[in-house]
Amino acid sequence: MVDTAFFAPEHDAPIEYMRRTREYYLALGYDNPYRWAHYVDAPFQPLTKNLADSTLALITTAVPYQPDNGDQGPGAAYNAAAKFYTVYSGDTAVDHDTRISHIGYDRKHTTAADAHTWFPLPLLREFAGRGRFKLARRFHGAPTNRSQRVTLETDAPEILARCRQDQVDAALLVPT
């Protein structure tokens, strides 16, 4: 078996979101481009025990539905009123109606009609039930601020503290 010489089209590669976004907002009249977080190194902490014995926490950028804060989908336009600015936590033993209208997801190709595509809590419970890992008692909501300083100095330490309270061994982070 060999690969053929019929290559995929040039555009069929991961989207360059940073370049697209920069050019897009320039066209919209904003000449102060967002500077994405960028580091040369990355930390690494191996799992200290088997996954089956590890307590896993879910970290999400989604937010519980807020009936008083406008259209939150499915199909809602970008809704800045639904944004949140402090870390929140939820009980993983029960279901939560989370939304992503406050985030710049793909509004043409994503209907946002199935919360399982951004908030896998029911599936995590199923996996934990099969003994794949232990599910932490709480999940945590990470604010999507434009301020990276707030993320670094306030939100990340708060999420760490809550994970430690729950004896978390590993975290699954799902940005939208």
* Per CB under 8 A, 148 contacts another protein: yes
* Per CB under 8 A, 17 contacts another protein: yes
- The DSSP line for 65-101 is --TTS----SSPPP-GGG---S-EEEETTS---EE-T
Task: Please report, as residue ranges, which positions from 63 to 82 form the binding site for another protein (by CB under 8 A).
Answer: 77-78, 80-81
Token pair of 23, please?
Answer: 């050019």
Token pair of 143, please?
Answer: 């604010």
Please give the Cα distance from 55 to 119 (Å, whole number): 18
To another protein, the closest distance from the beta carbon of 2 in angstroms equals: 19
* Per CB under 8 A, 125 contacts another protein: no
Task: Please report, as residue ranges, which positions from 44 to 63 form the binding site for another protein (by CB under 8 A).
Answer: 44-47, 51, 59, 61
Please give the Cα distance from 30 to 21 (Å, whole number): 11
To another protein, the closest distance from the beta carbon of 55 in angstroms equals: 10
* Per CB under 8 A, 24 contacts another protein: yes
Please give the Cα distance from 105 to 59 (Å, whole number): 17
Question: CB neighbours (10 Å) of residue 133?
Answer: 19
Residue found under tokens 């639904």? 82
Residues 95-124: x/- map of binding to another protein (CB under 8 A)? -----x--xxxx-xxxxxxx-xxxxx--xx
* Per CB under 8 A, 93 contacts another protein: no
* Per CB under 8 A, 94 contacts another protein: no
Instruction: Choose, by CB under 8 A, the member of 64, 65, 125, 127 that binds another protein.
Output: 127
